Amino acid sequence: MSVSLLLLAIALLALIGFGLARRRALSSAGGNPRELHSLPGYYGWHGALMTALPALAGLLIWLLVQPVLIERSVSAHFPADMIAADSSLALTMADVRRVAGGIDVALTAGAMKTDDAGRITTDLAQVRDTLKAVGVALGSDVTTEVLAAAQDYRRLAALGATGRALLVLVLAIAGMALAIRATDKDFRARNRVEQVTLGALMLSSSIAILTTLGIIASMLTETFHFFEAYPIADFFFGLTWSPNFKGDSQLGILPLIWGTLYISLVSMLVAVPLGLFAAIYLAEYASARARAWIKPLIELIAGIPTVVFGLFALVTVGPFLRDYIASPMGWGDSGSSVMTAGLVIGILNIPFISSLSDDIINAVPQSLRDGSLAIGATKSETVRQVVLPAALPGIMGAVLMAASRAIGETMIVSMGAGAAARLDLNPFEAMTTITVKIVSQLTGDTDFGSPETLVAFALGMTLFVITLGLNILALAIVRKYREQYE
Amino acid sequence: MNDMRIVERLVETQGNKISARAVQVHYGTSHAIKDVDVDILDKTVTAFIGPSGCGKSTFLRCLNRMNDTIAACKVTGKITLDGEDIYDARVDPVQLRAKVGMVFQKPNPFPKSIYDNVAYGPKIHGLTRSKAELDEIVESCLRKAALWNEVKDRLTAPGTGLSGGQQQRLCIARAIATSPEVLLMDEPCSALDPIATAQVEELIDELRDQFSVVIVTHSMQQAARVSQRTAFFHLGNLVEYGETGQIFTNPRDPRTESYISGRIG
Ligand SMILES: Nc1ncnc2c1ncn2[C@@H]1O[C@H](COP(=O)(O)OP(=O)(O)OP(=O)(O)O)[C@@H](O)[C@H]1O
Ligand SMILES: [Mg+2]
């Protein structure tokens, strides 16, 4: 039985479990649903869940364990020194699977007879030709060992499939039987079903957290490797960033942090006022018609890929700022600059701030506006003194999201601000950010053990800590504000 | 009944503060107020009574143009305040509302401190010159609204953290802090216990010295206690309007009679 067929069987059994459990519950209450502890549907769901969940869990475990076991037993066909060398064994095992799969394909295509398939152990050339005829190309020459291993593999896999089907069906039926036996009118089916729902909810939230933890863990180990090869103090306090793959690099993070914060600051100076004003216009002043047009148009900006924004920065904004502002004022003649990247990232972030803030402002109850207007406050006084303070915690969240995006932005920076790490106050100078350097240290022909590459992980870790700190700070601000007002 | 006659004689001497003529209100296609004529007298308490949904709040909101904030609401007819048409294009609703204050049916304190809630109006209208003066206004308004003793130790606590009845009184304090000429109160005592209700009624009586007060109420006793004039609304019509004593003792319209005696509601 194939896996999809098994899943179908589980679904069917679950359906039967649903019906049976529900029927039994109703009949135990003499057909009167009011006698039941829970609604009849809950008994049904309990039956279905008890049928499906253990079976699915069993199937999952089997699918994870079987390949490992088969591989171990099949690898007995190969010499011991080959097993010792990990990578060559992996390559050979890939061949084994290909041959085994090829034979299966040939069987279903009718190019081979079932009896032949079991017997072919010697005629290697014939095997190659047959498999080629059904569209399975084999890379290296098929050796006798590989062929024997493939035969073994097929045998074990078939055995595994039978065992798997048996186990899953037994689990499903046993689960169903247990559920039906437990079902009677006093059984608390709703509580059990809700427990499962709660479990599912918790699982969903923990998957995101576990992934984050996994990312941190993998970054941390590489970061430690980096600090074994490069002094930690030089990294955090070095004022020069000049990696050199021939050795003798200076990997000070300060110019990169400076560039990151500087560009983010410029972008937030653009995005926060414009986004907030746009949101206030949309939420408080625009007519319903105007709002229905303007809001989607602003949100359109968010759908443009950042690389297009990068092009805009490179081709239009950068040269414009250089030719009309920086050069005439004598502030430098660089086409790529903090200003260019900051402006363009700021524009990119306007819809984030405006759209979220607009929703938040709209959620402020009308009765508060009425209260203020009835005292004789003007519309703008009402907005400034009542609506915005009430919406502030939510607006902070929107601003924070935009800030995180600005800090993490890569494409626009590398096209708009360049790739030169520099510590400079002049916003018309080219600078660069942490994310750009992470990319440039990891791309190209690099030796994965050298500090010049590993530094990328330390940079990533630092970036992570910076954003985390920012989030915590914003949370603290919001909480303080809440205590004051709510 | 003797008291009532004294009050009646006082009323006769007052001039009109607000006059409404042929006022119609539509919410989209539904006709909420039908051809209402009313004269609200100066330095008088006027009660609006009537069954739920008959348009009392709607009519009250016409008097300070709060219906402007509802897009679907159309008001026609003429309403004058001291002889000036308040729906005239030249009238600034902001200035009108500074003169005609309002306490809403549902308490709506700002998410600010208790102090700031009351100080809001005086601040935006620039009524005070110093912090001490502002403190004084806040305290006297909270006292008048019978809330001072409960909140004097936590003026910086958020107004939204008060109980429903306390919030209602906070909104009353907020409304009288700007010293309006007319105060519109939409069921100001619906969430209050008998003691606080008595205090608010006392306040209303006190306010009558300077302002005219319009109060919407579902309590016949309250209307009889605090008002000199009563208007009875039914299904968007103003059925009867006159001196409170006359409305309650000798109603002319059979609908008024049955509502007062509890037969329609
Ligand atoms: N914002 C609105 N949009 C549409 N219809 C409304 C609106 N407000 C009130 N109405 C309608 O106008 C009519 C009068 O409502 P109003 O609130 O004035 O009644 P009320 O006399 O104050 O009642 P209550 O004593 O229950 O407060 C009702 O039929 C109501 O459904
Ligand atoms: Mg009402």
- CATH code, domain with A459: 1.10.3720.10
Ligand 1: distance of its center to the CA of A248 in Å?
80
Yes or no: say if B59 and B23 are a contact pair by the CB < 8 Å rule. yes
Which of A472, A410, A415 shows the shortest CA–CA distance to A442?
Answer: A410
| B1 band by pLDDT with thresholds 50, 70 and 90 | very low
Task: Please give the structure tokens belonging to residue B60.
Answer: 């009250």
Nearest by CB: B104 against A371, A378, A486: A371
- The alpha carbon of A377 and the centre of ligand 1 are apart by a number of angstroms equal to 24
The alpha carbon torsion through A191, A196, A199, A204 (nearest 10 deg) reads: -130
Residues B149/B65, Cβ–Cβ less than 8 Å: no
C-alpha distance from A294 to closest chain B C-alpha (Å): 20
Dihedral sign for Cα atoms in the order B201, B205, B211, B217: positive
| B7 within some domain | no
Which pLDDT value is given to residue B223? Answer: 93
Answer whether residue B2 is part of any domain. Answer: no
Q: Are residues A175 and A248 in the same domain?
A: no
Instruction: Evaluate if residue A486 carries a pLDDT over 90.
Output: no
> A375 lies in a domain?
yes
Among B207, B187, B213, smallest CA distance to B107 is for B187
The CA A243 to ligand 1 mean position distance, Å, reads 73
Distance B54 CA to ligand 1 centre (A): 7
Q: Give the atom of ligand 1 at the shortest distance from the alpha carbon of B61.
A: 18
Q: Is residue B93 part of a domain?
A: yes
3-state secondary structure of A317: helix
pLDDT at residue A119 in the model: 61
What ipTM is given for this predicted complex? 0.89
Is the pLDDT at B264 greater than 70? The verdict is: no
Instruction: Extract the tokens encoding B146.
Output: 């019978």
Helix (H, G, I), strand (E, B) or coil at A274: helix
**Is any atom of ligand 1 closer than 6 Å to the C-beta of B57?**
yes
Q: Which residue has the higher pLDDT, A384 or A420?
A: A384
Domain that holds residue B82: 15-260
User: Whose CA is closest to atom 18 on ligand 1?
Assistant: B55
Ligand 1 within 6 A of B256 CB? no
CB contact at 8 A, A349 and A398 = no
Residue B126 lies in a domain: yes
- What gap in Å lies between CA B59 and CA A12, rounded to an integer? 64
The 10s digit of each residue's pLDDT in B231-244 is 999 999 999 999 99
Does the distance separating the beta carbons of B98 and A374 come in below 8 Å? Answer: no
For A302-341, give one letter per residue: b (16+ CB within 10 A) or e. Answer: eeeebeebbbbbbeebbeebbeeebeeeebbebbbbbbbb
Say if residue A485's pLDDT is above 90: no
Of B104, B113, B125, the CB nearest to A370: B104
Total count of domains within chain B:
1
Q: Is B80 helix (H, G, I), strand (E, B) or coil?
A: strand
Extract the tokens encoding B39: 């004269």
Same domain, yes or no: A43 and A175: yes
* Number of structural domains chain A divides into: 2
How far apart, in whole angstroms, are the C-alpha atoms of residue B7 and residue B5? 5
**Residue A89 has what pLDDT?**
75
Query: Which of B54, B68, B190, B235 best tests ligand 1's pocket when mutated (most atoms within 8 Å of CB)?
Result: B54
Handedness of CA A102, A108, A112, A118 (dihedral sign): positive
- Characterise B91 by phi-psi region: left (phi > 0), alpha (psi -120 to 50), beta (else): beta
Binding site membership of B27 for ligand 1 (Cβ less than 6 Å): yes
Q: Is B105 on the interface with A (CB under 8 A)?
A: no
Position in ligand 1 atom list of the atom nearest CA B72? 3
- % of chain A with per-residue pLDDT over 70: 92
CA A311 – CA A340 distance, rounded (Å): 11
| Segment (H or E) for A37 | none
What is the count of residue pairs from A and B with beta carbons less than 8 Å apart? 76
CB contact under 8 A, B174 and A371: yes
Binned at pLDDT 50, 70 and 90, residue B9 comes out as very low
What is chain B's alpha carbon radius of gyration, rounded to the nearest angstrom? 18
Burial (CB < 10 A; 0-12, 13-18, 19+), residue A150, is buried
A151 pLDDT above the threshold of 60: yes
The answer on A127 and A46 residing in a single domain is yes
Instruction: Band the pLDDT of A122: cuts 50, 70, 90.
Output: low
Choosing among B58, B60, B66, B69, which should be mutated to test the A contact, i.e. which has the most A CBs within 10 A? B69
Q: How far does Cα A235 stand from its chain's mean position?
A: 29
Whether B3 is covered by a domain: the verdict is: no
Contact across the interface for B113 and A389, Cβ inside 8 Å: no
Q: Is residue B174 assigned to a domain?
A: yes
Task: From B24, B33, B56, give the residue whose CB has the most ligand 1 atoms within 8 Å, as the site to mutate.
Answer: B56
pLDDT of residue A111: 66
State the closest ligand 1 atom to the C-alpha of B50, by its place in the atom list counted from 1: 21
pLDDT digits (tens, 9 = 90+) for A32-85: 888 888 899 999 999 999 999 999 999 999 999 998 888 888 887 777 776 666
Give kind and range of the element (H or E) at residue A111.
none
Instruction: State the residue range of the domain holding A116.
Output: 3-187
Same domain? For A171 and A308 the reply is: no
User: Are residues B243 and B227 in contact, defined by beta-carbon separation less than 8 angstroms?
Assistant: no
Which of B24, B27, B102 gets mutated to test ligand 1 (max ligand atoms within 8 A of its CB)?
B27
Confidence of residue A479 (pLDDT cuts 50, 70, 90): confident
The Cα B64–Cα B93 span in angstroms is: 7
User: What residues form DSSP beta bridges with B158?
Assistant: B113
pLDDT tens per residue across span B56-109 = 999 999 999 999 889 899 999 999 999 999 999 899 999 999 999 999 999 999
Taking each continuous run of H as one helix and of E as one strand, the counts in chain B are 11, 10
Burial classification of residue B73, based on how many CB atoms lie within 10 Å of its CB (0-12 exposed, 13-18 middle, 19 or more buried): middle
Contact assessment for residue A17 and residue A50, using Cβ atoms and an 8 Å cutoff: yes
Q: What is the CATH number of the domain that holds B253?
A: 3.40.50.300
Domain boundary among A171, A187, A203: A187
Residue A464 has pLDDT above 60, yes or no: yes
pLDDT in tens, B185-232: 999 998 889 988 998 899 899 888 888 999 999 999 999 999 999 999
**Which burial class, exposed, middle or buried, applies to A245 when counting CB atoms under 10 A from its CB (0-12, 13-18, 19+)?**
middle
Q: What is the pTM of this model?
A: 0.75
Distance from CA of A21 to the nearest CA of B (A): 49
In a domain, B5, yes or no: no
Query: Which residue would you say has higher pLDDT here, A270 or A143?
Result: A270
Q: What is the pLDDT of residue A468?
A: 87
| Per-residue confidence (pLDDT) for residue A118, from 0 to 100 | 59
Distance between first and last Cα of chain B? 26
